[in-house]
């Protein structure tokens, strides 16, 4: 088993990565202070539930835990205030109290939703991330939890750190190939912003990662999580360098908002966004070749790098104006200087962003 720690003083917590951890969940829950005197609420989705929910419920009940479960539809539409209210109803009817914990069994959507429920139920209860996707190696670390508003993604949220992240890599074997690639997008992102050698490692080991080779995947998840944990430990509430983790997200969130949460998986939209950020980097002074290298790395993981023609530039620009990173009339972007290094640019000319969007459509 691989173990990392997110260092946040009294809110520090471990990330456990290994095989067979779901079956060992009770011992880790006891170790990290989840009481058996109060009910646990498992929130999962209708893709994950048929595979893993029953087994986890049985394991926890056999160890003496009281368990309530809720299953939401898979996909981004479950990050809504309506579903959030449904989860609150389940928690209240399940008699959760201030000593209860909420378990997020699933991918990034489930983690964001369950975390926001945990952050706000009775003004905050304990929370455990149990990711079942590669993409969730990013979203399960750092304590950013949220639901969406029809006008903007993740606009309604909180910072609420988990007690632990329990990452059973065996659950990844059931992922469809497209979801594997989408998750690897965020893994590569960590290398692009902080570790050039790791970014090249992702490209060089792309086939093994796509094939879910356990040793290769285990190292990739550990390194990706460690980069994020280091950044979060330095800047928990995104007052500075934590914003670097948003590489590709300004364009990516706009793509999701305009295309609807179905045409693109999150990691696919972020991949296109990272290609756009590399283009933007070159236009703002980064060395030539940054875009070409970034696109080659993304393509090695079978990720998209161009915009489809039906997403209009005007619509994408309007969506970006609603992004949290649009401040005081200026466009804020995370812009790479080179592979392995990025910076926050707070006053990007709108005309340059529009030009980048047009070039992304052409793949230039």
Which residues fall in the annotated binding site for Zn(2+)?
186, 249, 266
Q: Are strands 330-338 and 326-327 parallel, antiparallel or unpaired?
A: antiparallel
Active-site residue (options: 160, 266, 324, 325): 266
125 vs 142: CA distance, rounded Å: 16
Binding residues: 74-79, 108-112, 132-133, 144, 153, 186, 249, 266
Active-site residue (options: 47, 160, 223, 249): 249
**SS3 state at 339:** coil
Q: How many CB atoms lie within 10 A of CB 325?
A: 18
Active-site residue (options: 123, 239, 328, 362): 123
> Is 189 noted as a catalytic residue in this protein?
no
Active-site residue (options: 137, 189, 194, 228): 228
Whether 227 and 190 have beta carbons less than 8 Å apart is answered as yes
Binding residues for NAD(+): 74-79, 108-112, 132-133, 144, 153
30 vs 36: CA distance, rounded Å: 8
Active-site residue (options: 246, 268, 282, 325): 246
> Edge-to-edge strand order for the sheet containing 101-106?
2-6, 13-18, 164-168, 126-131, 101-106, 40-45, 67-72
Active-site residue (options: 238, 256, 268, 282): 238
> Is 268 noted as a catalytic residue in this protein?
no
Among residues 260, 265, 21, 249, the alpha carbon closest in space to that of 132 is found at 21
What 8-state DSSP symbol labels residue 286?
Answer: P
Active-site residue (options: 47, 126, 137, 242): 242
Q: How many CB atoms lie within 10 A of CB 337?
A: 14
Q: Are strands 152-159 and 330-338 parallel, antiparallel or unpaired?
A: unpaired
> Is 242 noted as a catalytic residue in this protein?
yes
> Is 327 noted as a catalytic residue in this protein?
no
What is the maximum alpha-carbon separation in the chain? Answer: 61
> Is 362 noted as a catalytic residue in this protein?
no
Active-site residue (options: 126, 148, 163, 186): 186
> Is 246 noted as a catalytic residue in this protein?
yes
Q: Are strands 152-159 and 144-149 parallel, antiparallel or unpaired?
A: antiparallel
> Is 228 noted as a catalytic residue in this protein?
yes
Q: Are strands 164-168 and 101-106 parallel, antiparallel or unpaired?
A: unpaired
Q: How many CB atoms lie within 10 A of CB 295?
A: 19
> Is 149 noted as a catalytic residue in this protein?
no
> Is 253 noted as a catalytic residue in this protein?
yes
**SS3 state at 73:** coil
**Which residues are tagged catalytic?**
123, 144, 186, 228, 238, 242, 246, 249, 253, 266
């Amino acid at each position: 088993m691989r173990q990392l720690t997110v260092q946040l003083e009294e809110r520090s917590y471990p990330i456990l990565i290994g095989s067979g951890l779901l079956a060992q969940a009770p011992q880790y829950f006891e170790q990290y202070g989840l009481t058996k005197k109060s009910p646990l609420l498992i929130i999962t989705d209708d893709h994950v539930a048929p595979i893993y929910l029953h087994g986890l419920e049985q394991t926890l009940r056999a160890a003496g835990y009281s368990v309530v479960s809720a299953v939401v539809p898979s996909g981004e539409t479950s990050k809504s205030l309506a579903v959030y209210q449904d989860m609150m109803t389940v928690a209240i009817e399940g008699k959760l109290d201030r000593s209860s914990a909420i378990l997020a069994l699933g991918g990034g959507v489930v983690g964001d939703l369950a975390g926001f429920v945990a952050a706000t139920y009775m003004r905050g209860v304990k929370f455990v991330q149990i990711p079942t996707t590669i993409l969730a190696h990013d979203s399960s670390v750092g304590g950013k939890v949220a639901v969406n508003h029809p006008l903007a993604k993740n606009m309604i949220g909180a910072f609420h750190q988990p007690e632990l992240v329990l990452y059973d890599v065996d659950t990844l074997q059931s992922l469809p190939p497209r979801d594997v690639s989408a998750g690897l997008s965020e893994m590569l992102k960590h290398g692009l912003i902080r570790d050039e050698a790791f970014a090249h490692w992702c490209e060089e080991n792309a086939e093994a990662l796509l094939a879910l080779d356990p040793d290769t995947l285990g190292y990739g998840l550990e390194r990706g999580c460690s980069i994020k944990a280091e950044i979060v430990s330095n800047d928990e509430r995104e007052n500075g360098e934590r914003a670097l983790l948003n590489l590709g997200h300004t364009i990516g969130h706009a793509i999701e908002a305009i295309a609807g949460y179905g045409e693109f998986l999150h990691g696919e939209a972020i991949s296109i966004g990272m290609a756009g950020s590399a283009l933007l980097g070159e236009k703002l002074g980064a060395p030539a070749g940054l875009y070409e290298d970034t696109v080659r790395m993304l393509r090695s993981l079978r990720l998209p790098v161009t915009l489809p023609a039906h997403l209009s530039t005007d619509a994408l620009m309007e969506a970006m104006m609603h992004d949290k990173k649009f401040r005081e009339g200026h466009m804020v972007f995370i812009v790479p200087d080179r592979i392995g290094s990025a910076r926050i640019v707070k006053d990007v000319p709108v005309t340059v962003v529009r030009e980048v969007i047009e070039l992304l459509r052409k793949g230039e």
